[in-house]
Amino acid sequence: MRVAIIGGDKRMLFAARAFCDKGADVSVAGFDGLERFSGIGIMEPSEAAAWADNIVLPLPCVKDGRIVAPFSERAILPHELLSDIGEKRVFCGMKERLTPTRCRVYDYASREDFAYRNAILTAEGAIQTAMSRYEGSIFGCRALVLGMGRIGRVLSQDLSALHADVTVAARKESDRAYVEALGMTAADYSLREKYDYDLIFNTVPAMVLPADVLSRTDERTVIIDLASAPGGVDFDYARRRSLTAVHALSLPGRCAPAAAGRIIQETIINIIKEEDGEKEDNRLCDDGVVLHL
Amino acid sequence: MRVAIIGGDKRMLFAARAFCDKGADVSVAGFDGLERFSGIGIMEPSEAAAWADNIVLPLPCVKDGRIVAPFSERAILPHELLSDIGEKRVFCGMKERLTPTRCRVYDYASREDFAYRNAILTAEGAIQTAMSRYEGSIFGCRALVLGMGRIGRVLSQDLSALHADVTVAARKESDRAYVEALGMTAADYSLREKYDYDLIFNTVPAMVLPADVLSRTDERTVIIDLASAPGGVDFDYARRRSLTAVHALSLPGRCAPAAAGRIIQETIINIIKEEDGEKEDNRLCDDGVVLHL
Amino acid sequence: MRVAIIGGDKRMLFAARAFCDKGADVSVAGFDGLERFSGIGIMEPSEAAAWADNIVLPLPCVKDGRIVAPFSERAILPHELLSDIGEKRVFCGMKERLTPTRCRVYDYASREDFAYRNAILTAEGAIQTAMSRYEGSIFGCRALVLGMGRIGRVLSQDLSALHADVTVAARKESDRAYVEALGMTAADYSLREKYDYDLIFNTVPAMVLPADVLSRTDERTVIIDLASAPGGVDFDYARRRSLTAVHALSLPGRCAPAAAGRIIQETIINIIKEEDGEKEDNRLCDDGVVLHL
Amino acid sequence: MRVAIIGGDKRMLFAARAFCDKGADVSVAGFDGLERFSGIGIMEPSEAAAWADNIVLPLPCVKDGRIVAPFSERAILPHELLSDIGEKRVFCGMKERLTPTRCRVYDYASREDFAYRNAILTAEGAIQTAMSRYEGSIFGCRALVLGMGRIGRVLSQDLSALHADVTVAARKESDRAYVEALGMTAADYSLREKYDYDLIFNTVPAMVLPADVLSRTDERTVIIDLASAPGGVDFDYARRRSLTAVHALSLPGRCAPAAAGRIIQETIINIIKEEDGEKEDNRLCDDGVVLHL
């Protein structure tokens, strides 16, 4: 199995190493300064694409019409790279950004196994950010988590495990009931109360902390916004009121690039196994044998 | 506020006491042997229905055409009881069993706040059942939980908290990913592996442990089926193979009647508050003030 | 390796099976009704002692001058059994009850590895007892644990893991500080406050719940005394006040005999390994090589 | 109550604020650049000592013959400061560094309530350090904690709560047994095995990671030494082998100064209460009333 990792940041180098550790032949492209890397081949992008059976692109794969490659001076253009690769498999994050192509493209970032494991890294990055910005301790602090999606679930339970006093705000009644079954406090987004917390983490991609709410938070509160741009905090207002509000983006790649890279690699392996497994399943089905509940 | 509790088991007496503790006027009916009960009035069913503003029926409310009342010799018929109560509120479990009625009927058992808290009691009852039937310890045992709904979630985390080695089988990929983010092992229902567990808990209302699967479990495995009748285990086959398989039903009422009763009372209070709150909200809305995110 | 299990209850049969599972030759004695048992030899006590290299006695090993053997009609006398066994190893619980003997006797029950693992079983048995006697749920209950020794530590953390609201009373300031670092509430044994708890567990072998204290507990409180006889509760007073007070003894053997038996077997294996290891260590020391920090 | 905080770092300013929040009259000294601070009086050291009833010095209180005061240009000499304070109470950390004095000196840092709460902050600081230096995630990493004292206990349980795979090395058998009862892996300090961990935390103030051991760690391992100088790691060797080894000192003051300051303030309040309580107790004792178990 030949894998080419093309573009991306540090995290993709760790993905390359993870493939290598599992016995794959690996090459990387799009890292200009890189001269040697753990015995992994370094190629030109087009050369790597021609050489490999499996092409791995970063998350997100494309921005401003180019493959995302912060360590490369030259532009890597998706249509040039993928125009002539035939039946090769392409793995990327945010597949919708690759203009229609005839390749077999798989989006690792849209999968549940990727998303939850990435959420774990985001939650740890959020805790690291809180620890470095907040002058108190997680133990015993009053923390509010906005949202009970993947990140909200993992983050709130991590904080609770470290003995914070956690409140989770969730819109759905079933989520709030689950929060209480986990021994935490549930809240809705009602604006009536004072926001009396040491730490506020937002995971909701909507304006959930507008000026109106921020005006009622304590001035010592540290706010960490994990929602992708533009986030859910009125940062202008926060600045005017001298509140500590951090927009913490891309935490997995920044705080735990090795783990983030390994997750990409493992998700791709899962995709390949499922594809091959499904083929096998289909074969078995011909014999009328496959039984799933 | 006058509350009449009519029918039901021990759990409903605890619900009565919980209302009483909160300052309500309470009467109970449908408990033949009961002569005194914590200063709560004891009435005939029709008398109680006439006296009260709020009528509380058990979970399930009706079976075989009668209000469920295991402690009453005489039949309590729903249409007689509720024919002439006007605007009074009726609270019950499994509302659909009350034939069409013109009353204002609220189903506490269909609500999330009730369901999750009841799931906590079911999970504790399942652990108690396992402790009394299994000769090993929860600590270090290999436990399989089938299903990641409310009960599966709470039960698997309780077991994990007691240091069992927990595997959760779930159909949805997102549930399996969540299981792993919680530090447990995820599985699908594939029939290919050996079922090598000390304890198996089923929460899925479908035949998930048929003879075929049971034939591959260890003979020392203890199986606890929490799914409502007919359950998810081939009990006939289990008996023939001398497996320990327990169909554990109505655990909240049997293992923690006081908590189960209090949950009913608190859910009803929540329903009343929301109703009244909504009225108030509507009033506020006239002034154009209510703001929810 | 030949192992004879002589006397004891169900737990010792599980110990026998655990030895057998690990490939030892095993025989049992002192179980009158037993005709067959998983292919393990059944012998007379003296015959078993003569046959084996390793003799295993129960916990406690001796009571009223006899080997404890509730399933045997005939008395098994320690001096008769062990008078002529030469260099054989004898493993027992509460070694001090074996009158001075020239045998090599090892007390598995006095070891830390045994004691903590047994404490886990006691804690689980205590929770099972609480679940069956208390009509509320562990989730959210107010629990008091008296003592922060092995059982107190494990039990309080188990209860806390199940989301009880746990207070631990401990005499030593360092224990109380540790309790708070674990996110629980610490208390001393001061008699000044009201004892306002749903569940009280005593682990201290001293009269810590005298009439004076019991008079200030709520009448619904369930008290579970885990301290060996005579326990730490004024049971007479509790009876007069109709309090629920349970003296729960020998929980490992009663609630989890398979685990209790396996712990005995594994502790004995540890003793043997250490003995043999030490011999090896001594040999190595001759070469001046052993380095421990 | 008049409290003077003299010397120390940021943490002491937070201690000042914590006293102030509780209604005390507070002044600070030894912070040259400080012109205003939350309405707290700023004085010269001698002036503050004369004004206050209670004098609070930092942790450690004295170094190189001077009160530790990193934010003061001028030397504050202990004998000058405390020569003429009569019956005033002095609170400090590491009391033994104050040359014999006739004052009433209390060492807050030597108390259990301080030590465990400080250990919580150290554990959190250690996790923050690990998160910023290790490129993987805490979730799923293989972590070794050396030592099962206060910091080892809190840190290992925090790591375990974040789903790391934790091994704790402890010299005492009882500590190792406790580690296993907590669901973690116990080890001794035997040098025989390979040190195959992602993260190693040392809490033992002795050379536990000499060159010999370091030579057998993986080169990707991140080592965090929490033991006070000179620590327990052969840092020279680690540097030569390009291992990541961090000597992380004074974590509470650096990572969570607000919490560290509050702990100092609360411990001092505890000391005062106990003193006053004891006086009261003595009075009560005259009446023969005090009863403690």
Cβ proximity of C98 and C78 under 8 Å = yes
Cβ contact B162–C124 (<8 Å):
yes
Cβ proximity of B292 and A191 under 8 Å = yes
> Searching chain C, which residue's CA lies closest to the CA of residue B160?
C161
Please, what is the average pLDDT of chain A?
Answer: 90
Integer Cα distance of B6 and B10 in angstroms = 12
- Going by C-alpha positions, the residue among A107, A92, A1 that lies closest to residue A53 is A1
Examine residue B58 and say whether the peptide bond preceding it is cis (omega within 30 degrees of 0): no
Q: Which residue in A129, A133, A138 has the most chain D C-beta atoms within 10 A of its own C-beta, making it the best mutation to test that interface?
A: A138
Could you read off the pLDDT of B165-203 as tens digits, one per residue? 999 999 999 999 999 999 999 998 875 566 789 999 999
Taking contacts as CB-CB distances below 8 angstroms, the residues of chain C near A185 are none
**Six token digits for residue D218:** 């993986």
Cβ proximity of C122 and C251 under 8 Å = yes
Residue A148: pLDDT band (50, 70, 90) is: very high
Cβ contact D177–C208 (<8 Å):
no
Strand order in the sheet with A89-92: A41-42, A25-29, A2-6, A54-56, A89-92, A104-107
Integer Cα distance of C177 and C49 in angstroms = 50
Strands A41-42 and A54-56 turn out to be unpaired
- In this prediction, residues B45-67 reach a mean pLDDT of 94
Taking contacts as CB-CB distances below 8 angstroms, the residues of chain C near D214 are none
Q: Which CA distances in Å does D57 have to A28, C146, C196, D249?
A: 58, 37, 40, 20
Q: What is the pLDDT of residue D34?
A: 87
Size of interface B-C (CB pairs under 8 A): 71
For residue A247, the SS3 value is strand
Instruction: Using CB atoms, list chains with 3+ pairs below 8 Å to chain C.
Output: A, B, D
Q: Give C265's Cβ-side CA count (13 Å radius).
A: 24
Q: What is the pLDDT of residue D195?
A: 77
- In 10 A of CB C156, how many CB atoms? 26
3-state helix, strand, coil in chain D (%, to 5): 40, 20, 40
| CB neighbour burial string for A88-117, b if at least 16 within 10 angstroms, e if fewer | bbbbbbbbebbeeeebebbbbbebbbbbbb
Q: Which of C120, C137, C138 sits opposite B139 (nearest CB)?
A: C120
Q: D140 vs chain A: nearest CA distance in angstroms?
A: 10
Q: Give A28's Cβ-side CA count (13 Å radius).
A: 29
- At residue B147, φ and ψ (nearest 5 deg) are 105, 140
Cβ proximity of A105 and A261 under 8 Å = no
**Six token digits for residue C286:** 């001759």
Instruction: Tell me, yes or no, if A191 comes closer than 8 A to chain B by beta carbon.
Output: yes
Cβ contact C139–A183 (<8 Å):
yes
Integer Cα distance of A180 and A47 in angstroms = 55
Taking contacts as CB-CB distances below 8 angstroms, the residues of chain D near C177 are 112-113, 115-117
Query: What part of A 202-261 touches B (C-beta under 8 Å)?
Result: 206, 208
Q: Which CA distances in Å does C52 have to A40, A192, C2, D43?
A: 61, 77, 5, 83
Taking contacts as CB-CB distances below 8 angstroms, the residues of chain C near B120 are 137, 139
Q: Which of D121, D140, D162 sits opposite A158 (nearest CB)?
A: D162
Instruction: Tell me, yes or no, if B163 comes closer than 8 A to chain D by beta carbon.
Output: yes
Q: Which residue in A178, A214, A274, A293 has the most chain B C-beta atoms within 10 A of its own C-beta, making it the best mutation to test that interface?
A: A293
Integer Cα distance of A67 and A7 in angstroms = 7
For residue B121, the SS3 value is helix
Could you read off the pLDDT of B153-169 as tens digits, one per residue? 999 999 999 999 999 99
Q: Which of C139, C163, C183 sits opposite A163 (nearest CB)?
A: C183
- In 10 A of CB A269, how many CB atoms? 15
Cβ contact A177–B115 (<8 Å):
yes
**Six token digits for residue D270:** 């505890």
- In 10 A of CB D237, how many CB atoms? 17
Could you read off the pLDDT of B227-261 as tens digits, one per residue? 998 999 999 999 999 999 999 999 999 999 999 99
Taking contacts as CB-CB distances below 8 angstroms, the residues of chain B near D183 are 139, 163
Q: What is the pLDDT of residue D279?
A: 57
Cβ proximity of D188 and D171 under 8 Å = yes
Cβ proximity of A224 and A200 under 8 Å = yes
For residue A92, the SS3 value is strand
User: pLDDT means per 10 residues in chain D (293 residues)?
Assistant: 95 95 94 85 94 95 94 92 88 87 88 94 98 97 97 98 97 94 91 79 95 91 95 96 94 95 96 77 37 31
Sign of the CA dihedral running A154, A159, A162, A166: negative
Cβ proximity of A213 and A238 under 8 Å = no
> Searching chain D, which residue's CA lies closest to the CA of residue A160?
D161
**Six token digits for residue D122:** 């150290």
Integer Cα distance of C208 and C203 in angstroms = 10
CA angle C9, C130, C63 (to 5 degrees): 25
| CB neighbour burial string for B163-183, b if at least 16 within 10 angstroms, e if fewer | bbbbbbbbeeeebbbbbbbbb
Checking B170-173 for CB contacts under 8 A at 24+ apart, the result is: B171/A293, B172/B148, B173/A111, B173/A112, B173/A113
- Going by C-alpha positions, the residue among C248, C260, C255, C251 that lies closest to residue C11 is C260
Cβ contact B177–A153 (<8 Å):
no
Cβ contact C180–D116 (<8 Å):
yes
Taking contacts as CB-CB distances below 8 angstroms, the residues of chain A near C139 are 183
B137: left (phi over 0), alpha (psi -120 to 50) or beta: beta
Q: What is the pLDDT of residue B192?
A: 59
- At residue A183, φ and ψ (nearest 5 deg) are 85, 10
Residues of chain C with pLDDT under 70: 100-101, 191-194, 278-293
Strands C244-247 and C222-225 turn out to be parallel
Which residue type is seen at D202? N
Instruction: Tell me, yes or no, if C181 comes closer than 8 A to chain D by beta carbon.
Output: yes
Integer Cα distance of B98 and A130 in angstroms = 53
Strands D66-67 and D62-63 turn out to be antiparallel
Taking contacts as CB-CB distances below 8 angstroms, the residues of chain A near C180 are none
**Six token digits for residue B104:** 């204002």
Residue A190: pLDDT band (50, 70, 90) is: confident
Cβ contact D14–A259 (<8 Å):
no
- Residue carrying the six token digits 């929602």: A227
Cβ contact B256–C135 (<8 Å):
yes
Q: Which of A113, A171, A291 sits opposite B173 (nearest CB)?
A: A113
Q: Which of D139, D163, D183 sits opposite B163 (nearest CB)?
A: D183
Cβ proximity of C154 and C130 under 8 Å = no
Cβ proximity of B188 and B171 under 8 Å = yes
Q: What is the pLDDT of residue D53?
A: 94
C280: left (phi over 0), alpha (psi -120 to 50) or beta: alpha
> In this model, does residue A289 exceed pLDDT 70?
no
Taking contacts as CB-CB distances below 8 angstroms, the residues of chain D near C119 are 181
**Quick one: how far is CA A98 from the chain centroid?**
19
Q: What is the DSSP letter of D221?
A: -
Cβ proximity of D73 and D32 under 8 Å = yes
Cα radius of gyration (chain D): 22
Q: What is the DSSP string of chain C?
A: -EEEEES--HHHHHHHHHHHHTT-EEEEES-TT----TT-EE--HHHHHHH-SEEE--SS-EETTEE--TT-SS---HHHHHTT-TT-EEEESSGGGS-S-SSEEEEGGGSHHHHHHHHHHHHHHHHHHHHHH-SS-STT-EEEEE--SHHHHHHHHHHHHTT-EEEEE-SSHHHHHHHHHTTSEEE---S-S-B--SEEEE--SS--B-HHHHTTB-TT-EEEE-SSTT-SB-HHHHHHTT-EEEE---HHHHH-HHHHHHHHHHHHHHHHHHHHHHHHHHHHHHTT-----
- The contacts of residue D165 (CB under 8 Å, 6+ apart) are D140, D141, D142, D143, D185
Instruction: Tell me, yes or no, if A17 comes closer than 8 A to chain B by beta carbon.
Output: no
Instruction: Tell me, yes or no, if C137 comes closer than 8 A to chain A by beta carbon.
Output: no
Could you read off the pLDDT of A251-288 as tens digits, one per residue? 999 999 999 999 999 999 999 988 887 655 444 333 33
Q: Which residue in D116, D179, D208, D215 has the most chain C C-beta atoms within 10 A of its own C-beta, making it the best mutation to test that interface?
A: D116
**Six token digits for residue D234:** 């052969």
Q: What is the pLDDT of residue B280?
A: 52
Size of interface A-C (CB pairs under 8 A): 4
Strands A25-29 and A41-42 turn out to be parallel
Taking contacts as CB-CB distances below 8 angstroms, the residues of chain A near D125 are 131
- Going by C-alpha positions, the residue among C97, C101, C77 that lies closest to residue C88 is C101
Q: Give C79's Cβ-side CA count (13 Å radius).
A: 3
Which residue type is seen at A281? D
Q: What is the pLDDT of residue D293?
A: 31
Cβ proximity of D98 and D62 under 8 Å = yes
